[in-house]
Amino acid sequence: MYDKISLIGMGLIASSMAHGIHRHGIARSLVGYTRSQQTREVACELGLVDHMCNSLEEVVEDADLVVLCTPVRTFGQIARIIAPHLKPGATLSDVGSVKSYVVKSVAPHVPANVHFVPGHPLAGTEHSGPRAGFAELFVNRWCLITPLANSPKEPVERLAEFWRILGAQVDYMEPTHHDLVLAVTSHVPHLIAYSMVGTADHLHRVSKTEVIQYSAAGFRDFTRIAASNPTMWHDVFLSNKEATLDILGRFTEELFSLQRAIRTGQGDQLLEYFQRTRSIRKGIVEAGQDTGAPDFGRIPRQQET
C-alpha cells in the first residue's frame, strides 16, 4: 500500500500498528522513532520496525505515510520539526484521541505538497508501551478519519484502506463533531472512572484492603479504566476541554436527577431509566462492539482448593 511507513512513538497504538503492518505486508519498509533510548531498544528487541531511527528528521525521510503516535499535545512540536523533511506527496496522519486540537496544532506546519489526514482508531487497552501492542487490537473496531476541507480524495481513501487492512471499520467525521462524540463515549466515562476510584481511595471508612479484596464487578471495571495511561488522558482532557465540560455538565444534571429520585423514592423513574440504559448496552453488543457473555466474557477464576 505504501512503500515506506514511518511511525513516531512506539507505545501501545504504534506497536499494534507495527504488528499489523508486518502481518498484512502493508509496507515494503517500516521505520520508527521514539524519544527514549530504552523504548527504542525494546522496539528493536521485539522487531517492531525494520529500522529504528535516531531522530525525527531521519524517521520521516522518504516515507510515504508518517503517523504520529505520541500523546496529542506533542504533535504540534513534532510537526514543526518534521515538516521540512517530509517527502513531497507523502501523507501525514495521526492516531490522537482528540481531533480539533490536533488539526489546529499540526495543520499550520504541514507543507502544501504533503497531505494531512487526521485519524483516530477507537481501540485501546489500559496498558501502554511497546510491549503492550498486538496485531488484533484494531479488528472490528472503528477508525474515524477526519479529513480537512481541502484534503484530496486519493490519500484519504488510501488511509481508509490501510485501516481496513488492519481490521478496522472506517467512518468519516468532522473534527469538532468527533470531539463531542468521543467526549460522550470515551472521555467523560474515563473522567467518571478516575473520580469513582479516587472517591473510594478517599473513603477512609472502608479500608483500602476491603476496597480491593471485595471489589465488585462495577468497581473493578472502573479501576480498569482508571488504570489508563496518565499522560495520554492528561493530554486528552486539556485538548478537548469544551466538549468534555459540556458533557460533564449534562452528566451532573442526570446525576442530580437520579439523586433526587432516590431521595424521594421515585422507583418508577429509576426503573424506566435503568431499562433505557440496559437497551443501550444491548445495542452495543448487537453492533459487535462488546461481548454479551456474563462478566464481559471474563474467564472465572479457578476455585481454590
By beta-carbon proximity to ligand NAP, the closer residue of 39 and 146 is 39
Instruction: State the nearest-atom distance from the C-beta of 277 to ligand NAP, in Å.
Output: 24
Cα 247 from Cα 249, distance rounded (Å): 5
Q: How many CB atoms lie within 10 A of CB 19?
A: 19
Instruction: Give whichever of 36 and 209 is closer to ligand NAP, judged by the CB atom.
Output: 36
CB of 71 to ligand NAP, least distance (A): 5
Using CA atoms, how far apart are residues 63 and 158, in angstroms rounded to an integer? 15
Contact status, residue 101 vs residue 240, Cβ threshold 8 Å: yes
Contact residues for ligand NAP, defined by CB under 6 A: 9-14, 34-36, 39, 69-72, 74, 95-97, 120-121, 123-124, 128-129, 229, 231-232
Nearer to ligand NAP, 124 or 175 (CB): 124
Cα separation, 276 vs 59, whole angstroms: 50
Q: Least distance in Å: CB of 103 to ligand NAP?
A: 14
Residue 114 belongs to what H/E stretch?
none
User: Got the DSSP string for 201-228?
Assistant: HH-TTS-HHHHHHT--HHHHHHHHHHTS
| Residue whose CB is less far from ligand NAP, 1 or 227 | 227
* Closer by beta carbon to ligand NAP, 125 or else 176: 125
Min separation Cβ 141 and ligand NAP, Å: 9
Which residues lie below 8 Å from residue 196, measured CB to CB, with a gap of 6+?
A: 219, 222, 226
Nearer to ligand NAP, 2 or 75 (CB): 75
Identify the residue whose cell numbers are 495543520: 107
Q: How far is the CB of 192 from ligand NAP (least distance, A)?
A: 16
* E strand or H helix that includes residue 135: none
Rounded-to-integer distance, Cα 251 and Cα 221, Å: 19
Separation CA 41–CA 48 (nearest Å): 10
> What are 248's three cell numbers?
460533564
Strand partners, 7: 32, 67
Measured from the CB atom, is 12 or 166 closer to ligand NAP? Answer: 12
Listed in sequence order, the residues at least 6 apart from 245 whose beta carbon sits closer than 8 Å to its beta carbon are none
For the bound state, the minimum distance from the C-beta of residue 128 to ligand NAP, rounded and expressed in Å, comes to 3
- Beta carbon of residue 166, minimum distance to ligand NAP (angstroms, whole number): 13
CA-nearest of 49, 115, 66, 60 to 84 is 60
Shortest distance, position 246 Cβ to ligand NAP, whole Å:
20
Of 110 and 258, the one with the shorter C-beta distance to ligand NAP is 110
